[in-house]
Structure 1
């Protein structure tokens, strides 16, 4: 899914000088978070333009890191994928993950909400001079997500000052890509 070319390519640019304050979870259980997730909504990403069925699989590693693979169907039908490893750099902030992609670039991945069994809200923001680059993902264990949960996640982002008009739905009409 989530997350092709995270902070390097495509993120949503905003005229704000500072990132919204959207705190990540204080307690995060990577073992419960592991598994298959479907991307339901996201902010636009250049690396995912036109992609449908964006999904990810997380695997907990023995060292506590999380191995990830993101897959999505390009408009021409080709399956695109990217892999990497995520880890919490600071044990005091276990839901603030740093992701190193196998292609050599790095990004962040902050879990804002999750119930582990049905849905998750992930957000990242990088200030670059007078603009900020934001990413947000609504993730679900199923190809659909309850509208009330989507509304809650949108409210969390909007209340913090994030421009939720940029959210777009990710069609999930391909079945599992894993």
Structure 2
């Protein structure tokens, strides 16, 4: 079972940033004076770049909780559109530096390997939307990912437009975003839930 976790999360690390591009990661400005406490709570995934580990996933949501040391505990969950099974994954977001608290690294718990993935909050108004960026350098190319998160499962057009403005201002491609399916998101019986902790 342990080897399953190692292989599973190794795959997650390699596929966590899905859009390959030539050259190094682009310069993306992150939010100044990011407040992790205000960021805590429930976020729904409105749109995302393609990622293998979310293939067939719907009803994606995340709970963020701040610990006393400013570490953010993240509980991500999604349902399989094919089986209805819910997958729950927990991790921690650690600030890379105190001068730029919006730049974080996410580590999945309790895997004992260094599988940290960048998680940069480009901008959020805390109340309705957040634009998140991730990029990994591999010498001559890089892979990137991005998410638009919202406080409501079905955000208003005004909320999405505010997020798109941030995307455009940072030269992030809108072409790679796909809308996350949030239809028929219901509670699932415990016996159908697969929880990885």
Query: What's the TM-score once normalised by structure 1's chain length?
Result: 0.87
What does residue 123 of structure 2 align with?
A: 113
How far apart, in 2, do the equivalents of 1:168 and 1:20 lie? 21
CA distance in 2, matches of 1:106, 1:161: 25
Is the CA contact 2:60–2:79 (under 8 Å) kept in the aligned structure 1? yes
Give the Å deviation of 1:135.
Answer: 1.1
CA distance in 2, matches of 1:30, 1:167: 25
Counterpart selection for 1:81 from 88, 91, 98: 88
Deviation digits for residues 94-131 of structure 1 (CA, Å, limit 9, x no counterpart): 10011111134211111111111111111111122332
Q: What is the Cα-based RMSD across aligned positions, in Å?
A: 2.1
Unaligned runs of 5+ in 1: none
Q: How many residues align?
A: 174
Shift of 1:43: 0.4
- C-alpha distance in 2, partners of 1:119/1:154? 10
Residues 67-111 of structure 1: per-residue CA shift (max 9 Å, x gap): 011000012110012111112121000100111111342111111
- Alignment match, 1:135: 145
The correspondence of residues 23-172 of structure 1 with structure 2, limited to 5 A, is 23-75=29-81, 76-102=83-109, 103=111, 104=113, 105-172=115-182
Give the match's secondary structure for 1:26.
coil
The structure that has the greater radius of gyration is 2
More helix by share: 2
- Structure 2 residue aligned with 1:14, among 5, 20, 42? 20
Alignment TM-score, normalising by the size of structure 2 = 0.79
Gaps spanning 5+ residues in structure 2: where?
1-8, 189-197
User: Which whole-Å CA distance do the structure 1 matches of 2:179 and 2:91 have between them?
Assistant: 24
Q: Distance in 2 between matches of 1:152 and 1:73?
A: 27
